[in-house]
Amino acid sequence: NAGSLNELDDEQGFAHFVEHMAFNGSERVPEGEMVRLLEREGLAFGADTNASTSFDATMYRLDLPRADEALLDTTLMLMRETASALTFDPDAVAREKGVILSERRVRDTYMLQNTVNRFEFLYPGSRLARRMPIGTIASLEVATSEGLQAFWHRYYRPDNVALVVVGAFDPALVEAKVAEHFADWEASETPLEEMP
């Protein structure tokens, strides 16, 4: 439950940047290994392994090729790593920054500008036109490991995350595996603040 509308002025594009960093290293999965791990299990990057960031949410999606316990276990481990164990290595952030700035430049088209103009016309004074999920070049260029981690810590918390499992699984197995991977994820003592 965190997207571009949750970003502060100097964090524009951070929700999307954090989404990218989920594939760039965590405590249990070194940088570059998540995709390889999933490919060994039969998932194709992009088709079966994907993520997206919108104005109000960031979604991570894995379409599993089979409904077996071992793959469910691996998948939930990866989701827990994304939720609470990303590393934000400064070198990985620097490498990914180039990818994200390239995306930003490629997406700066008439369609994006038209969307911004339409939002400004339809919703005057709202944050919508000022918080496109791709962010701004200025804020992305100065993004740091610490800044991204601060955004992630603020919003990736048990009271702000939903996990959905759909498929031909035994519900009792899913419940037990979710508890195994997520039960010790402690809620923050700081209340989640509403954006202005």
Q: Centre a 10 Å sphere on the Cβ of residue 172 and count the other Cβ atoms it contains.
A: 8
List the one residue out of 74, 77, 71, 62 whose CA is nearest residue 169. 71
List the one residue out of 152, 110, 115, 162 whose CA is nearest residue 22. 152
Contact (CB, 8 A) for 72 and 174: yes
List the one residue out of 119, 171, 82 whose CA is nearest residue 4. 119
Can you give the pTM of this predicted structure? 0.94
Per-residue pLDDT tens digits of the chain, which is 196 residues long: 999 999 999 999 999 999 999 999 999 999 989 999 999 999 998 889 999 999 999 999 999 999 999 999 999 999 999 999 999 999 999 999 999 999 999 999 999 999 999 999 999 999 999 999 999 999 999 999 999 999 999 999 999 999 999 999 999 999 999 999 999 999 888 888 766 5
Q: Centre a 10 Å sphere on the Cβ of residue 79 and count the other Cβ atoms it contains.
A: 19
Tokens describing residue 6: 């949750």
**What CA–CA distance (Å, rounded) separates 44 from 28?**
21
Q: Any alpha helices (H) in the chain, and if so which ranges?
A: 14-21, 33-40, 69-84, 90-107, 110-122, 137-141, 145-155, 171-182
Tell me whether residue 19 is one of the annotated catalytic residues.
yes
- Give the model's pLDDT for residue 169: 94
Catalytic residue among 7, 19, 41, 96: 19
